[in-house]
Chain A
Amino acid sequence: MSSLFSKTITLGKELKVSDAEFAQLRDFIYQQCGIYVADNRKYLLENRLANRLKHLNLKNFAEYYYYLQYDAGRKEELNRLFEVITTNETSFYRNPPQLQVFQDQILSDVLQALRKSGQRKLRIWSAGCSTGEEPYTMAMIIAEVLKTELASWDVRITANDLSERVLESARRGVYNEYTLRTTPKEILARYFDKQDMFYNVRPELKKLILFHQINLSDMTQVKRVERSQIIFCRNVIIYFDDDMKKKVIGSFYDNLLPGGYLIIGHSESLHNISRAFKPIHYPGAIIYKKEE
């Protein structure tokens, strides 16, 4: 209730992050998750964290740094910090041209090759899945393509995010109309159950996806992800500095099976990050392929 007051005696006039505090927090965040908070996001960080400081009754950002290091509630607070620094903006069927290429070209090529080799085992990794819209979209596309054949396939989408809170929401699989605004009506009817104002993902779709927390900057965690034919990592590497981008993209390369595909955000590029992939240009999308 006292959060009504933006200025109080004990909280000081305004919660401003000093350059030294910002550098300390930035390094801490980088160590924890590999996300590099650029200087131009200093005020964004300050604004977004000010409420956390008020809530925790901390006087300045140096105390917040200590809180993150030593307080009994640090683990929970770290998750909140992760939520603050990532935007988690997503929706179903985001960027349709890219998904069309995924459905018509990439997925069909991969499925065909698997059929030919007699291995009906498809593995997809959705790295940075936020609240689940992306992996569920993948699952729906796969179900649409395989139709009745789906039951005879071993399909698994590994979906990770840094924030446990968004993963909880992803596991629940309950969405509102806004996030489903770009979802075709027939898809909505086939894969969701409507309950009041909300839409619940059907269990048969949920079972294709394994959600768990991963810190992409932690190479030992990343190495434990099962090797995949396709990796989606859209609008995630924008948070990393060049070194971390190189590391993360390198680990995607190592995870992909020969001939596998990497799909990044449509405004992102691997220019100056990696030369190991072959970029394939499709109308509306560039997809990166690992050689056979």
Chain B
Amino acid sequence: MQECKSIIERLRIDDNEVLREAAFEAGEARCEEAVPLLAGLLQSSNLGVQEAADRALRSIGGRSVIQAAIPLLRVDDAPARNLAMDILRALAAQDVASLIPLIRDTDPDIRIFAADILGATDNPAAVPVLCEALLKDPEVNVRYQAAVSLGALARPEAAPCLNKAMEDEEWVQYSVIEALSKIKQSSSVGALVKAMSHTSDLVTSMIIDALGEMGNVKAVPMLLKRLEESPTALRNKIVKAVVRILGGKSLQLLSPDERENLKVYMLVALEDEDLEVQDAAIQGLAFAGGERASEAVLKIASRLDADQDQERLQQIVRALAQIGLTSALRSGLLSDNPDEARVAVLSLAIVDDPSVPQVLIDAFWKHSRDLQRLIIETLSKVAGPSSKAFFLDVLDRHEDGKVLKSAAYVLGQKLHLEDAADKLFALLEHKYDDVKEAGLEACIAIGGPHVNARFQEFYASAEPMKRLMAVYAFGRMGLAEHWESLKKALHDEVPDIRKVALEAIAGMCWESDAWLPLLEDRLRDESRDVRLTAIDLMGRCYGREVIPFLLTALDDEDDWVKVRALDALGAHQEREAVPRVVPLLQHANRLVVIKAVEALGNIGGTSAFRALLDISTSEDEPELQQAVEASIAKVQEAHEGE
């Protein structure tokens, strides 16, 4: 209250900077007593002050702001009037009763404003008064605005009065049609169709759009009937409306004659300037099919911008794929226009036809690098064993990393081709890591004695990267066979190799006699990342025997090692750990505290519960507070379930 008083005092000072600041503060403090002064400031000549008053009034809101803004609708100052309109639109729902009488005002401008504002109320009480204005107001702009607002409210009970208003003059019809298309009432289809017998071309075109928008099947026979007699522009709109209503698939339900007729018109509609018409025709042609359709749709796609028209392009690609492997698509793939060829590749990628891989292979070397990348990426999904010569050839001849990665994937993971192993090993010395990794995965997938021998050479290498790859591969290719090598790798001078070796032996964790001593050693590793990995693996391969190690890790100098140990002990509900976890609730690092809280919540039991109740949290630590609450609830829930 005191704050409002001081704000109001400053709102009376004739200094724009003070006024602006005070107005903002009035809004922040929701200072209702300041509303009259703020409303007055909407007429300030200073835009900064006006803006601040506007924001403040919106933020205060409620009946008092609406009451203060209504008189401003009558002022001559246009910017202030516009601001008042905006505010009333934004707040209209908060006091509809004060706004309704304005629609019967003697001033037609006020009635227009009121019709507009009532459209923003989202309140059914506005419908009857707007209907009354729509059908009875002598001023055409009020009737127009009433229809716009009924559309904005989009309530079905407005449909009868809007249907009736289709008999009004053309200017009103525009907004009525738009409103009806938003309301989508079945009863309005008949009214719109009936009106078409006497409306102008422009209104007829709007009605056709609206019928398409409303999606009511009842409109289809009538629209098809009008196809023949309509000029091209209207015909294209009808095509759009019919496809919209039926969707591509249901076009099959039309009679053969109707379908053939529509297909001809859909091809014509592809040339329409309106993209929505084009898209509807494409959608229809995807089901109607045929060479001409494929060629025409591909031409449209090749003119699109791959970045800006992404969504549209994807739809067209799907449509082309649905039409199938046509001659148009084959020649498009070989086109000198890279955009056309690109669309052809994208479409072929999803065409269901066994000859697609060979068609793509035949085109591969004719294209530039970017298209080759796309073709081989597609081939990596659709090609089978018969394409192996092509991929081997690519490994020999190509230098691009992405192309090589796709070839490696097919030869390794898909075909497991032993003959390709040496060529794939060459990729392990490639300058880019991602190519190395692709080569490595492919070699591992092939496996066998030869690959194994090659990795043994890597293992003995002085180059850390080669040793790293060998250790990784050994872990993936069979632990028993490489057990001794991996054990040795746990002592490699390079921490990353020790870490990868640890991960590699994770598969042996069920043989704890062999596995645990190796891990135990690494818990004392100088590298924090290695220790972290060791603890993480113990958590994943949990058993009684790892508990002492996890408990020891709670004293590790690195907090993240503690966190991993807490996670593991919590996940396995290790009650034995509670006495060691509880002291961590006092840890200086809040992360450790939160993780200890979570662990106790997961473990449950009386001691954990008591410890959780004893934690004091403050409001400025919402994370901790939330963790404590959640953990207490968890323990209680578990207890009730027991």
- Majority-rule SS of B interface residues: helix
A2 to B472, CA, bound (A): 10
A49 to B50, CA, bound (A): 43
Per-residue CB contact flags for chain B residues 498-518 toward chain A (1 = under 8 Å, else 0) read 011001001000000000000
CB pair B464 A8 closer than 8 Å: no
Q: Is B638 an interface residue (CB 8 A)?
A: no
Per-residue CB contact flags for chain A residues 254-292 toward chain B (1 = under 8 Å, else 0) read 100000000000000000001111100000000000110
- Quote the shortest CB–CB distance from B445 to chain A (angstroms): 14
CB pair A1 B506 closer than 8 Å: no
B436: nearest residue on chain A (CB-CB)? Answer: A4
Chain B residues within an 8 Å CB radius of A10: 503, 532-533, 536-537
A4 to B434, CA, bound (A): 7
Query: Out of B20, B52, B494, B591, which one reaches A1, CB within 8 Å?
Result: B494
CB pair B496 A2 closer than 8 Å: yes
A9 to B54, CA, bound (A): 57
A276 to B48, CA, bound (A): 4
Per-residue CB contact flags for chain B residues 112-144 toward chain A (1 = under 8 Å, else 0) read 000000000000000000000000000000000
Chain B residues within an 8 Å CB radius of A8: 500, 503
- Quote the shortest CB–CB distance from B576 to chain A (angstroms): 24
Q: Is B560 an interface residue (CB 8 A)?
A: yes
A5 to B48, CA, bound (A): 56
- Quote the shortest CB–CB distance from B566 to chain A (angstroms): 12
Most chain A CB inside 10 Å of its own CB: which residue of B48, B433, B468, B533: B48
Number of chain B residues whose Cβ lies closer than 8 Å to a Cβ of chain A: 42
Most chain B CB inside 10 Å of its own CB: which residue of A8, A9, A278: A9
Chain A residues within an 8 Å CB radius of B468: 1-2, 4
Query: Out of A66, A276, A290, which one reaches B50, CB within 8 Å?
Result: A276
CB pair A57 B560 closer than 8 Å: yes
Chain A residues touching B, range: 20 to 34
CB pair B623 A69 closer than 8 Å: yes
- Quote the shortest CB–CB distance from A43 to chain B (angstroms): 14
A250 to B56, CA, bound (A): 13
CB pair B590 A6 closer than 8 Å: no
Q: Is B32 an interface residue (CB 8 A)?
A: no
Given A9-B537, A10-B536, A290-B48: A4 touches B433 (CB 8 Å cut-off): yes
Given A10-B533, A276-B48: A69 touches B590 (CB 8 Å cut-off): yes
B499: nearest residue on chain A (CB-CB)? Answer: A2
Chain A residues within an 8 Å CB radius of B469: 4
Most chain B CB inside 10 Å of its own CB: which residue of A8, A67, A70: A70
Given contacts A69-B590, A276-B51, 9 further A-B contacts (CB under 8 A): A1-B465, A1-B494, A5-B500, A6-B434, A63-B563, A70-B589, A70-B590, A246-B55, A254-B17
Top 9 closest pairs, chain A to chain B, by CB: A70-B591, A276-B51, A2-B496, A1-B496, A276-B48, A9-B503, A276-B47, A10-B536, A70-B590
Could you name 18 residue pairs across A and B whose Cβ atoms are closer than 8 Å?
A: A1-B464, A3-B433, A4-B437, A5-B472, A8-B500, A9-B506, A9-B537, A10-B503, A10-B537, A57-B529, A66-B594, A70-B591, A71-B559, A253-B48, A254-B20, A275-B51, A276-B47, A276-B51
